[in-house]
Amino acid sequence: MNSSTDKTLQSRRRFLENISRAAGGAALYGIGLGLYSRQATSLPSQSIRPPGVVNESDFLSACVRCGLCVRDCPYDTLKLSSLGDDVALGTPYFDARKIPCEMCEDVPCVKACPTGALDPALDNIDDARMGLAVLIDQEACIAFQGLRCEVCFNVCPLANKAISLNRTHNKRTGKHALIVPVVHSDACTGCGKCEHACILEEAAIKILPIRLAKGELGHHYRLGWQEKQKAGESLVTPDTPHQYNLPEGTSYDYEGEGLISPPENNSRDINDTPFTKSAIDRLNEGVK
Amino acid sequence: MSVSTTSLKVPGLEAVQKKGWLHAHKWLLLRRFSQLSILSVFLIGPIFGTWIVKGNMSSSLTLNVLSLTDPFVFLQSVLSGHVVETTAVVGALIVFGFYVIVGGRVYCSWVCPINIVTDTADWFYRKLNIKSPVHFSKNNRYALLAAILVVTVISGIMVWELVNPVTMLQRELVFTMGFSWAVILAIFIVDAFISRRAWCGRFCPMGAFYSLLGRLSFIRVNALNREACNDCMDCYVVCPEPQVIKPVLKKTDNLNPVILAGNCTNCARCIDVCSEDVFSLGTRTAKL
C-alpha cells in the first residue's frame, strides 16, 4: 500500500517535472521567435512588394513563399528573398531601379497566387499601389536646374495622371521656365518605371513605401472650404473684415502684398487681387 | 545505449551477404530516387524552360492544373489570421490526405532534401564512432511546435517561415541560392558531431507536425515475422527513431506487431538491413 502510494507520488512528480520542462522550453522558444520576428519583418524601403499587397503584416500572414508569382512574372521583375537578403525570408519583392514592374494588363502574378496573399480582387493593374514615386531630391533632378529631361514623365505608364509636368519660373536665369515632374498619389501605382529610367547616377525620383511617402492629416481636421462645399454654405459666421489704422487712401491687402491702394470702386471683392487667376501664369510673372 | 555497442559494426552486413547488396539497399535507393526526382521536377522548369511543376514544396502548381500546398505551412497561415483562398485550401487537403494514407513522416524520409543531409551526418557519426556530447529530448520538437503555433497566433505573421530551414533549402535550391547552405552545414555539423539526430528527430517542428499526422497513417511498418528476429540490433542502429521499434519486437503474442508511433518515418531502412526479413510494409490493421 505504502509503496504503491510512493510510486503514484513519484510518477506524479515525474509528470509535473516533464510538463514544466516542456512548458519552459516552449516559452523559451516562443520568446526567441517572437523577438526575432520583430526585426526580421522590417522591410527595407527600396524593396517593393508585388501588386495586390495592401499591408505588410497581412502579407506576412498570407504568403507561403512558393514563388509562383515570381515564376509567372514575364519580365523577371519579381524575385524571392533568400537567406542573407534583408527582406522577410522567401517573400517576393522587386527593386525598381533594377527591373521595374511592367504593369501587365492581365496581372499574372496576382493570378498565380494560391493563397490570396496578392489580393485576387485586383483585376486592373492601374489600381495597384505597390508604392509611391517621390521626387526625392530636387537638388539633383536636372529638371529643377532648368534643363529639359522629362524622362520619368515619358516612361510613366500613366503619364499625365500619375506624373504631370508643371511649368514654373526659372529664378536663376530670370527668363526661362523650369519644367518639373509632379507625382500624383491618386494615380501612381508605384511600378517604378520612373525610378528605373531616371538618368542620374542615383535616381532623384524613387519609389517609396506608401507609409513613408505619404503624410496623414489628423482625423479631427476639417478643411473649411471642403466642409463649406459639402454643406452648401458657410458653417461659421464669416469674419468681420479686419480694421486697420492705415494711412489715407490705402488698405491692407490679403495675399501678402502689403499696403495697396484700394480699387476704384472701393469694393472688397475676393476676386479683386492684383494677380491673374491662373496659378501657372502667376508663377510666370516671377518676383515683383 | 545499444547504439554505442553496435556502432563499430556495419549495420546490414549480414543482410547484404544474405540478400545481395541491391536488395539490402532497395528502400534506401528508392527513397533517394524519390527525394532527388521530386527536387528535379521543380528544377526542370528553371533550367530547361519546360514547366512541369512550378513553385516549391510550400505550394506548387503541376502541369497548370494540380495545385498542392504544404499542410504545415497552410496551418501557420490560417493561425496567423489569413483567410486562405480556395486553391490553397484544396491543395493542402490533398497533401494532408496523401500523408494520412502513406504515413505522416513519409514527407521527412521520402520528400524532404534535408533528410539526405542528416542521413549523411548520421553515417559520419557511425563511421567515426563519435559520441554526442549533447543530448536533447525527443519531445523537444513538440515544445518548439507548440511555441511556433502560439507565437504565430499572437503575432499574426508566419514566424516559423522566417527561419524554417526545411522550406528555406527547398526554396533556395529551386530559386536563388542565398546562405541557406550555411544553415544546412550547421545542421550537418550539429547532427554529426554535437548531438546525434538533433535536427530531424529533436528540433524540426515540421517533422513534429508530420509525426502527429502520422498517428493516423494507414500504411505502417510492421514486425509480423518477429519470431525470426536474432537480436542483431542492426535495425536500431539505422532507424532514425529507434524508440518506435522496441514495442513491436517483443516476442509476446498479445503485443501489436505494427509500428503505430507517429515518429516512424516509413523509411523502411529496417526492412533493408534485416537479414531475417522481420519487417515489412503493410497497413495499420495488419495482424500476426
| ipTM for the assembly | 0.84
Q: φ, ψ for residue A266 (rounded to 5)?
A: 65, 10
Give the pLDDT score at B7: 43
CA distances A35 to A31, A40, B159, B276, Å, are: 6, 9, 10, 52
Nearest by CB: B58 against A18, A64, A82: A64
Partner B contacted by A83 (CB < 8 A): yes
Chain Cα centroid distance, residue A214: 5
Q: How far is A73 from chain B (nearest CA, A)?
A: 12
pLDDT digit string, tens, across residues B148-163: 999 999 988 899 998 9
Show residues of chain A in contact with B67, CB under 8 Å: 114
Instruction: Supply the DSSP symbol for B176.
Output: -
Show residues of chain B in contact with A60, CB under 8 Å: 80, 157-158
Best to test chain A binding among B59, B75, B141 (most A CBs inside 10 Å): B59
B157–A117: do the CB atoms touch at under 8 Å? no
CA distance B237 to B127: 12
Q: What is the mean pLDDT of residues B187-198?
A: 91
Nearest by CB: B77 against A61, A67, A71: A61
Q: What is the mean pLDDT of residues B168-188?
A: 91
Element (H, E) at B245: none
Q: Give the three cell numbers for residue B193.
A: 558531431
Map grid coordinates 547488396 to a residue.
Answer: B21
Tell me which chain B residue has its CA closest to the CA of residue A85.
Answer: B178
Short-list B119, B92, B136, B97, CA closest to B32:
B119
Neighbour tally for B161: CB within 10 Å: 27
Nearest by CB: A83 against B73, B159, B168: B168
CA distance A12 to B147: 24
Instruction: Supply the DSSP symbol for B109.
Output: I
Q: Percentage of chain B surpassing pLDDT 70?
A: 96
Short-list B127, B161, B101, B130, CA closest to B281:
B101
Burial of B10 (0-12, 13-18, 19+ CB in 10 A): middle
Q: φ, ψ for residue A259 (rounded to 5)?
A: -75, 125
**Rg of chain A's alpha carbons, rounded to an integer?**
30
Residue B255 pLDDT exceeds 90: no
Give the pLDDT score at A156: 93
B167–A80: do the CB atoms touch at under 8 Å? no
pLDDT confidence of B6, banded at 50, 70, 90?
very low
Residue B73 pLDDT exceeds 70: yes
Show residues of chain B in contact with A64, CB under 8 Å: 58-59, 69-70, 73-74, 77, 88, 158, 161
Nearest by CB: A70 against B154, B162, B175: B175
Q: How far is B81 from chain A (nearest CA, A)?
A: 7
Q: How far is B88 from chain A (nearest CA, A)?
A: 5
Partner B contacted by A65 (CB < 8 A): yes
Beta bridge partners, B67, equal B61
Give the pLDDT score at B4: 46
CA distance A26 to A18: 12
Partner B contacted by A74 (CB < 8 A): no
Cβ-proximal residues to B190 (8 Å cutoff; 6+ apart), any chain: B198, B199
A40–B56: do the CB atoms touch at under 8 Å? no
Nearest by CB: A65 against B150, B156, B167: B167
Residue B284 pLDDT exceeds 50: yes
Nearest by CB: A36 against B140, B162, B180: B162
Short-list B232, B259, B266, CA closest to B16:
B232
Give the pLDDT score at A69: 94
Q: How far is B148 from chain A (nearest CA, A)?
A: 6
Nearest by CB: B178 against A41, A60, A83: A83
A57–B156: do the CB atoms touch at under 8 Å? yes
A29–B148: do the CB atoms touch at under 8 Å? yes
Q: Percentage of chain B surpassing pLDDT 90?
A: 46
CA distance A286 to A171: 8
Residue type at position A265 = N
Chain Cα centroid distance, residue B226: 24
pLDDT confidence of B2, banded at 50, 70, 90?
very low
Give the pLDDT score at B95: 94
Neighbour tally for B98: CB within 10 Å: 14
CA distances A270 to A241, A263, A264, B71, B250, Å, are: 12, 12, 15, 68, 102
Partner B contacted by A114 (CB < 8 A): yes
Which residues in chain A land under pLDDT 50? 1, 288
Nearest 5 degrees, angle CA B263-CA B268-CA B271? 125
Give the pLDDT score at A271: 55
Residues 1-20 of A with CB under 8 A from B: 18
Partner B contacted by A85 (CB < 8 A): yes
A61–B143: do the CB atoms touch at under 8 Å? no
Show residues of chain A in contact with B167, CB under 8 Å: 65, 90
Which stretches of B49-177 are DSSP H helices? Answer: 71-79, 86-102, 106, 114-127, 140-155, 165-174
Q: Give the three cell numbers for residue B113.
A: 532534401
A25–B143: do the CB atoms touch at under 8 Å? yes
Q: Give the three cell numbers for residue A165.
A: 509636368
Show residues of chain B in contact with A92, CB under 8 Å: none
More confident residue, B205 or B18: B205
Residue B142 pLDDT exceeds 50: yes
A61–B45: do the CB atoms touch at under 8 Å? no
Give the pLDDT score at B248: 86
Tell me which chain B residue has its CA closest to the CA of residue A89.
Answer: B162
Give the pLDDT score at A43: 85
